[in-house]
Structure 1
Amino acid sequence: MKVERRTIEHIPHHERHGKARDLFPVWFGANMHITTLVTGTLPVTMGLDLLWSIAAIIIGTFIGAIFMASHSAQGPQLGIPQMIQSRAQFGVIGAILPLFLVMFIYLGFFASSTILAAGTLSSYVPIPASWCIIGLSAICFLLTIYGHDLIHKMQKILSWTSFAVFFAATILIFQLPIPSGSWVPGSLDLPVFLVAVSAVATWQLAYAPYVADYSRYLPVKTPASHTFWYSYAGTSVSSIWMMLLGAILTTALPEFTANAGNEIVRLFGPFSFIMLIIVLFGQMAINVFNLYGAFMSTTTTLEPFLKLKVTPKTRVVMILCVTAAGTVLSLLGQSNFMELFLNFIFFISYFLIPWTAINLVDYYFIRRGKYHVKSMFDVNGQYGRINWITAAAFVLSIILEIPFINTSFYIGPLAEIFGGGDIAWIVGLAVPSLLYYFLMKSRLKHKEAPSI
């Protein structure tokens, strides 16, 4: 297996390979781990009964996956990473604004996945959790160095093995005793339900900044519909499956969230080592995604200023720095994990949703997939250094979301009027979409002549 040679540059046509169906195992495997399962516990811990929790999981996944898969469909057409494409909307320098937020997302998910894996491992081996964090991070670092093709191969292996093991786990979990009436729908607490839907949808939106990174090597003639549906199906099936198990386990085992990994491994009794391996493999696989994305974002941030030529040595050093940052976060965040994780999920949604709205409106409704890729690497090119229209629409939408926010540390005044319902995501979609569309449409009418 060779170290990946390409980083953020355009993938030439002669290097394109694979088929759209290869994306299904990538995104199916991306969710077959206990961090997804823990996300499924959130609706129950928020106070919804089991049936309404499952409804929130299904609706949130189906909504969020639309945006995730729409970003994936951009990859074969443009042949560049997702955040490089954001330079067409924000400007070559202006794209650093969402990039900083995206890097925080990668590191946050890296930390949460590492904490869960280390907590599980330390329960079965005489090694403190902190040393487990360091060891698991080191393995992820080594795997990330090889890049795109190794990640695809890892996800294929993980998809098949995790399918078999979690199929057995599903049978065991459905045999657990749960409180009577759990499968009967109770009264719906609409504000809590909306918050739960938002949390689940955010899980899918978190893939948006790097989903195209794994479709950019596909041949340019790959139908967009194929890329969309294989990505959508892969992420939706596995997410709903894992989150459903999380909701049932939380209902059946009230203390489940205290040590989710350890509890699910115990279900296998004398064969618990099999589930332990799958839990660790799944957490490391998703963390390779996180490190790879953080590395790509770091490269995208530095490239306009340093004109980086990423050699294998440079690649190793940069990934090592990103891994070190994620490891420190993991070591610091071991206590009070669930509250931190829930707040983190909501926090990133307030920034991700305006970004995804701007990106998709630009790609599908304004430029219609036609871009001048070389200009995305030129600070003096047609996309400019900073697009102030985009920056203003992005920042304004975030400000307007604040009154609608409902988190454990802050509840906006308008969220209180709506009974605690968090509809900030609606504002985060509508405001930047309308502002960006109408302000940029007239500006671009005669200014640019886009081409691939």
Structure 2
Amino acid sequence: MAAVVEQHSIDVVPDSERHGHPFSQFTLWLGANLQITAVVTGALAVVFGGDVVWSLIGLVVGNLLGGAVMALHSAQGPKLGLPQMIQSRAQFGVKGAVVPLLLVILMYVGFFASGSVLAGQATAELTHTGDVTGIIVFALVTAVMAAIGYRVIHVLGRVASVICALAFVYLGIRLLDRVDLGALLGDAHFSFPMFLLAVSLSASWQLAFGPYVADYSRYLPRSTSGRATFWWTLSGSALGSQWSMTFGVLVAASAGEAFIDNQVGYVVSLGGAGLVASVLYFVIALGKLTINVLNTYGGFMSMVTGISGFRGQRTLGPRGRAAYIAVIMVAGTAVALLGKDSFLDSFKDFLLFLLTFFTPWSAINLVDYYLISRERYDIPALADPDGRYGAWRWDALAVYAVGVLAQLPFLATSFYTGPFVEPLGGADVSWIVGLAVPAVLYWLLARRDTSHVPDETILGLPRESEPVGAGRS
């Protein structure tokens, strides 16, 4: 059992324990994206006014752009052997990294909740219980698998990538039997705001993976090609999400209110009744389990990263690991139970809200890693507030704040609309501003003083038997 249960948490994975091939990133992210919430995300482009053709094109653009940013984060994992958000200490300081971390944890709780709403419906059908019971059962299974950790997560991704792909092929065939595809594709009417909404929905879907994507590539051998990791991650995530979102667009365009009122039930009804319906409910639950385990695991990592920056903690025992995971599970389940009756509207705003806070973080992290530090970090110093990265890096925090504020005039949600949205025809381009502004500002500031950048990556491995910062979780 010890060989299955993950032994590391926020510490460096030593070279002797590295394993795997970058193709594992393809199966993991394909499986994580072939699921019902991605279907709903694609459907939103039509539900809120877009046509089929331009919604599909916009979703492709967003998946490729956002997926490329996400995959650049994934390529960091094998090089450093660290969870994604630990690396943020090099930009924001050992304690300063807690600022974006608080928002990352909110993201995990939100995605756990939104996924549990849909998976809970499927679980309830399988167990012949109500939605509340289904949500709770699903949350408990998620927590157990997240506690086991890295190996079971990748096994789950491989299984889900095959089973969910077969299910989506079957559902796609059934859908095409019901709809007039020519009529749907022929009714194309370009609307720039609706096109940008589709781009933003899929880009935000991809960018939201950024804060934890390296968590699932950090066990790959240090010699793993960064390009291979990038392309396998991008191809799996972009293909899986576009596949699901395309299905969502076609379902929403053809079914209308029937889909909006009961997303899970309608999708299953496409496949048939009886045993076939039970299988599809299982597939929906499996797809959501894959991504919700990632969210729970990422939330646990982020909480430990934030708290350990103040406590000087480098290791975590089994009880502590279980406690952190339990907190994520309870919080996400509570939000799911409270918001299950207003899912569709709140989910769209949640995605765009997240995008506001994570694009500046991604921009700063990637500019620092690839252009300023050039993949060279002092790994032991990431746990030392008195070290080369300091406790708080106010320049990076200021750039982050400017990056968030710069987006507000361009942001369009139900609870806030910026003054520049109307002149742009209602289009939301805040995520583009959120990538460009902090990237340029951070590059201009950080390149003036690179004294904190080591000549080469410092691993801090004085003894073969005990890497510095390594710990058993």
Normalised to the residue count of structure 1, the TM-score between the two structures is: 0.97
Specify the code of the residue in structure 1 equivalent to 2:359. Answer: I
Specify the code of the residue in structure 2 equivalent to 1:328. Answer: A
**Contact residue 178 and residue 251 of structure 1 kept, 8 A:** no
1:282 aligns with 2:284: no
Q: Which residue of 1 aligns with 2:417?
A: 411
**Contact residue 367 and residue 450 of structure 1 kept, 8 A:** no
1:338 aligns with 2:340: no
In structure 2, distance between residues paired with 1:124 and 1:15: 39
**Contact residue 38 and residue 260 of structure 1 kept, 8 A:** yes
**Contact residue 356 and residue 407 of structure 2 kept, 8 A:** yes
Q: Which residue of 1 aligns with 2:178?
A: 176
Distance 1:163 1:180, change over 3 A: closer
In structure 1, distance between residues paired with 2:151 and 2:268: 30
**Contact residue 125 and residue 281 of structure 2 kept, 8 A:** no
Specify the code of the residue in structure 1 equivalent to 2:343. Answer: F
**Contact residue 120 and residue 259 of structure 1 kept, 8 A:** no
1:84 to 71, 83, 86: 86
Shift in Å, 1:315: 1.1
Distance 1:383 1:251, change over 3 A: same
**Contact residue 13 and residue 82 of structure 2 kept, 8 A:** yes
Specify the code of the residue in structure 2 equivalent to 1:66. Answer: A
1:128 to 106, 122, 130: 130
**Contact residue 179 and residue 252 of structure 1 kept, 8 A:** no
2:382 to 371, 376, 380: 376
In structure 2, distance between residues paired with 1:304 and 1:269: 52
Q: Which residue of 2 aligns with 1:363?
A: 369
CA deviation vs aligned residue, 1:327-361 (integer Å, no higher than 9, x gap): 11111111211111000000000011111011111
CA deviation vs aligned residue, 1:36-73 (integer Å, no higher than 9, x gap): 11111011012111111111111111111100100000
**Contact residue 179 and residue 251 of structure 1 kept, 8 A:** no
**Contact residue 402 and residue 424 of structure 1 kept, 8 A:** yes
**Contact residue 93 and residue 389 of structure 2 kept, 8 A:** yes
Q: Which residue of 2 aligns with 1:268?
A: 271
2:67 to 65, 68, 77: 65
Distance 1:12 1:407, change over 3 A: same
Indicate the percent of aligned positions where both proteins have the same amino acid.
Answer: 39
Q: Which residue of 2 aligns with 1:11?
A: 13
Q: Which residue of 1 aligns with 2:303?
A: 298
Shift in Å, 1:448: 3.6
CA deviation vs aligned residue, 1:294-340 (integer Å, no higher than 9, x gap): 00001101112223331112211221122111111111111211111
257-266 or 87-96: bigger deviation: 257-266
1:54 to 53, 56, 67: 56
Q: Which runs of 5+ in 2 are unaligned?
A: 458-473
CA deviation vs aligned residue, 1:392-413 (integer Å, no higher than 9, x gap): 0000111111111111222111
Distance 1:250 1:447, change over 3 A: closer
In structure 1, distance between residues paired with 2:279 and 2:265: 13
Q: Which runs of 5+ in 1 are unaligned?
A: none
**Contact residue 40 and residue 243 of structure 1 kept, 8 A:** yes
**Contact residue 119 and residue 261 of structure 1 kept, 8 A:** yes
- SS of residue paired to 1:443: coil
**Contact residue 95 and residue 385 of structure 2 kept, 8 A:** yes
2:320 to 310, 314, 319: 314
In structure 1, distance between residues paired with 2:158 and 2:395: 42
In structure 1, distance between residues paired with 2:181 and 2:165: 28
**Contact residue 411 and residue 420 of structure 1 kept, 8 A:** no
- SS of residue paired to 1:94: coil
Normalised to the residue count of structure 2, the TM-score between the two structures is: 0.93
Q: Which residue of 2 aligns with 1:396?
A: 402
In structure 1, distance between residues paired with 2:5 and 2:320: 12
Shift in Å, 1:185: 5.2
**Contact residue 3 and residue 312 of structure 1 kept, 8 A:** no
Shift in Å, 1:451: 2.9
191-200 or 27-36: bigger deviation: 191-200
Q: Which residue of 2 aligns with 1:104?
A: 106
Specify the code of the residue in structure 2 equivalent to 1:142. Answer: V
266-275 or 292-301: bigger deviation: 266-275
1:244 to 223, 246, 250: 246
